[in-house]
Amino acid sequence: MKTLLWIQGLTCNGNTQSVLNGENPSFYELLTKVRLLFHPAVSYREKLHNVVERIKKGKEKLDILVVEGAITGDERFGRAGKYSITELLDILSRKAEYIIAAGNCASFGNIPALYSGNPDVRGLQFRFEKKDGYLPPDFKTSSGYPVINITGCPVHPAWFTQTVMAIVEGKDIMLDRFNRPKELFMYLPHDGCIRNEYFEWKVESEEFGHKEGCLFYNLGCRGPLTHAPCNKVLWNRVSSKTRAGMSCLGCTEFDFPLRENYFETKKNIGIPEEVPLGVTKRAYITITGVAKTLKNERLTKKLEETD
């Protein structure tokens, strides 16, 4: 049985809370497939430094190291007993067969890297878009993989458990340029969005919370620009931001905390500065013009009013 150790850097614990509330499988069902060496929110009998000492001495095998939170050398943050987060990484990164960065902070540095004012606050292998993390750009574990980034703020529990189970079952994990599993992050929140027909016909929502209208043009939705399967793997198996009438914030991307206004689509002469991935601005303008000329009357009504 594979072993799993979870440690934390500079974090709000959001990824822990998300994973602990996961369903199908739950976190506790996952523990029938892996042996948990330590988790700061779950382990009450075991001490982290004891586990680390056993790993250092070769008395305990470490298969999967999960890191939550940004990495900082500041001794005031990220301490776990006698070790700082950087000391833990120096020891455990050499021992782990796989390393998973759970969430955007561990992957890219995220909000702590942006607002701390400290350039040494970063993710495991990235700092925002650049490979300038705590571990070297060419770092790989004994399995041959770099740090596997499961991005999100917080990470979706099913994305985490699916990746862990792929490791447990010995499956190959294809990674994108940000070291995210392609099986999950090749999709966009736009894929499966129930507002896609409104997007196609350029019928825009003017405010949040409504069932009708696309949220992209007016309300800053990042669904067509973000890599994440939020409308394929639903949150709580029920919903997503766009299904609830809220814009996608693009929280799985390296630039998530860098934008100034999350609820505004920046435009230049009425044209969005960023158009959907894979589409040129010329094509976007052409498609928009055609869609507005060939108006879909059904989409101008409230859903409850349609036949």
* Per-residue model confidence as pLDDT tens digits over 58-79: 999 999 999 999 998 766 655 5
Q: What value does the mean pLDDT take over residues 35-63? A: 94
pTM: 0.94
Q: What value does the mean pLDDT take over residues 89-116? A: 95
The 10s digit of each residue's pLDDT in 247-278 is 999 999 999 988 778 899 999 988 899 999 99
Across-strand partners of 130? 127
Question: And the tokens for 244?
Answer: 């609830």
Across-strand partners of 71? 122
- Find which of 16-30, 136-150, 291-305 is predicted with most confidence, using mean pLDDT: 136-150
Q: What value does the mean pLDDT take over residues 35-43? A: 94
Across-strand partners of 271? 268
Q: What is the DSSP string of 199-256?
A: HHTT-B-SSTT-SSSBSHHHH---GGG----TTTS-BTTTB-TTTTT-----TTSTTT
| Domain positions in the chain | 2-185, 187-307
Spatial separation of the C-alpha atoms in residues 280 and 166, rounded to whole Å: 36
Q: Is the dihedral of CA 96, 102, 107, 111 positive or negative?
A: negative
pLDDT at residue number 75: 61
pLDDT at residue number 302: 86
Q: Are the C-beta atoms of 299 and 201 separated by less than 8 Å? A: yes
Q: How many helices (H) and strands (E) does the chain have?
A: 11, 7
pLDDT at residue number 116: 81
Spatial separation of the C-alpha atoms in residues 235 and 198, rounded to whole Å: 22
Q: Does domain 187-307 have CATH number 4.10.480.10?
A: yes
Q: Is the dihedral of CA 167, 171, 176, 181 positive or negative?
A: negative
Confidence of residue 243 (pLDDT cuts 50, 70, 90): very high
Q: Are the C-beta atoms of 247 and 263 separated by less than 8 Å? A: yes
Spatial separation of the C-alpha atoms in residues 71 and 92, rounded to whole Å: 14
Spatial separation of the C-alpha atoms in residues 9 and 71, rounded to whole Å: 5
pLDDT at residue number 76: 60
Place of tokens 């890599």: 227
pLDDT at residue number 290: 92
Spatial separation of the C-alpha atoms in residues 141 and 67, rounded to whole Å: 14
Q: Are the C-beta atoms of 87 and 27 separated by less than 8 Å? A: no
Q: What value does the mean pLDDT take over residues 7-20? A: 94
Confidence of residue 80 (pLDDT cuts 50, 70, 90): low
Q: What value does the mean pLDDT take over residues 94-108? A: 98
pLDDT at residue number 259: 79
Question: What is the distance of C-alpha 250 from the center of its chain?
Answer: 9
Across-strand partners of 10? 70
pLDDT at residue number 78: 55
- CATH code, residues 2-185: 3.40.50.700
Question: And the tokens for 265?
Answer: 């689509």
Terminal CA-CA length for the chain? 56
